[in-house]
Amino acid sequence: MAQIKNEAAYRAALKRVEQLEELVDDDNPIMDENALELDMLVDMIEEYEDIHYPIGKPSLVDTIKLRLYEMDITQAKLAELLNISPARVSDIMRGKCEPTLKVGRDLCQKLNISPAVVLGV
């Protein structure tokens, strides 16, 4: 399969995808040349982005911060939810210590955070 080899080709492919998106919809036959081209370009773009713009795994601290923002709660309120001291929450948030198994389990349940993120896998 063809590859996107540089940033200029990547930008051109993105532009072409925008053009094709206007021509292709769910009513197009699967063998429509525009739909085929769009599918092929999207695969090539994804491959290029995986190499040149990788998205790393979220850290536990970043995930906790996001959930606190989404739930509109403070670190003090989190300490209450987890039944630990505000100082302990602060240490976790600054990366000075890891949560215990119990605290990790509570983070998963009360903040709806994936166990994989809590475990760092």
Match domain 60-119 to its CATH number in 1.10.260.40, 3.20.20.70, 2.40.170.20, 3.40.47.10. 1.10.260.40
Tokens of 4: 């996107």
Q: What is the pLDDT of residue 57?
A: 81
The pLDDT, as a whole number, for residue 49 is: 95
What integer pLDDT is reported at residue 86 of this predicted model? 95
Helix axes 75-82, 101-111, angle to 10 degrees: 110
Q: What predicted TM-score, i.e. pTM, was given to this entire model?
A: 0.59
pLDDT digits (tens, 9 = 90+) for 22-81: 988 877 777 889 889 999 999 999 999 999 999 888 889 999 999 999 999 999 999 999
pLDDT single digits (tens) 81-106: 999 999 999 999 998 999 999 999 99
3-state helix/strand/coil string of the chain: CCCCCCHHHHHHHHHHHHHHHHHCCCCCCCCCHHHHHHHHHHHHHHHHHHHHCCCCCCCHHHHHHHHHHHHCCCHHHHHHHHCCCHHHHHHHHCCCCCCCHHHHHHHHHHHCCCHHHHHCC
pLDDT of residue 7: 95
| Residue-level pLDDT at 75 | 94
Indicate the domain borders of the chain.
7-52, 60-119
Angle among Cα 34, 36, 38 to the nearest 5 degrees reads: 70
